[in-house]
């Protein structure tokens, strides 16, 4: 698949790996806010009693530009996480490194407030995020989302 479709590829791979007992809903994205729509995240993932607001980000390099994370995403997810059982965060895929991490919105806020950097390095994600296991299948990837999600239901695989 062409490199300019890397985000759509990651999105498709993510959807294919969501465990069957979770409800997944893709928020409609009208050309990045062209019609005034400014969603806080890409996906709502639900399994009682928890709701996950997940924004997918993929990048080729060893750090992801903070500019790729819109302020409304941070504000929207942070506000929602004040409710019991609601979690918000970013699933960051470093494509060339073949590494993927879940980073909470609270950790992203702390990073942006404490650091004077223009990007989030993979080293920081390794230290602060939850590594998502992944396997390469010929060209595409399969992600172990179940291990990440099981942390919220009393078990860590």
- pLDDT tens, residue by residue, 110-153: 999 987 889 999 999 999 999 999 988 777 888 999 999 998 88
Instruction: Report d(CA 60, CA 119) in Å as an integer.
Output: 13
Backbone angles phi, psi at 101, to 5 degrees: -135, 145
Confidence at residue 112, expressed as pLDDT on a 0 to 100 scale: 92
Q: How many CB atoms lie within 10 A of CB 103?
A: 22
Question: How do the domains of the chain map onto residue ranges?
Answer: 3-153
What is the rounded radius of gyration, in angstroms, for the C-alpha atoms of the chain? Answer: 15
Confidence at residue 37, expressed as pLDDT on a 0 to 100 scale: 64
One-character DSSP codes across 13-60: HHHHHS-TTSEEEEPP--TTTTTS---S-SEEEEETTEEEEEEEEEES
Question: Which listed CATH number (3.40.1350.10, 3.40.50.300, 3.40.50.620, 3.40.1190.20) goes with 3-153?
Answer: 3.40.1350.10
pLDDT in tens, 84-110: 999 999 999 999 999 999 999 999 999
Confidence at residue 155, expressed as pLDDT on a 0 to 100 scale: 66
Total-model pTM? 0.84
pLDDT in tens, 31-89: 555 556 689 999 999 999 999 999 999 999 999 999 999 999 999 999 999 999 999 99
């Amino acid at each position: 698949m062409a490199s300019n479709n890397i985000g759509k590829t990651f999105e498709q791979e993510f959807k294919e790996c969501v465990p069957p007992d979770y409800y997944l809903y893709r928020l409609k994205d009208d050309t990045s806010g062209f019609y005034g729509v400014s969603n806080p995240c890409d996906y709502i993932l639900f399994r009682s009693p928890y709701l996950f607001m997940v924004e997918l980000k993929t990048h080729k390099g060893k750090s992801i530009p903070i500019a790729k994370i819109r302020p409304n995403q941070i504000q929207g997810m942070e506000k929602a996480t004040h409710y019991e059982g609601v979690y918000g965060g970013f699933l960051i895929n470093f494509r060339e490194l073949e590494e993927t991490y879940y980073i909470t919105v609270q950790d992203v806020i702390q990073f942006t407030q404490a650091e004077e950097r223009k990007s989030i390095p993979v080293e920081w994600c390794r230290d602060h995020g939850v590594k998502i296991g992944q396997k390469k299948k010929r060209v595409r990837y399969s992600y172990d989302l179940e291990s990440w999600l099981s942390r919220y239901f009393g078990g860590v695989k």
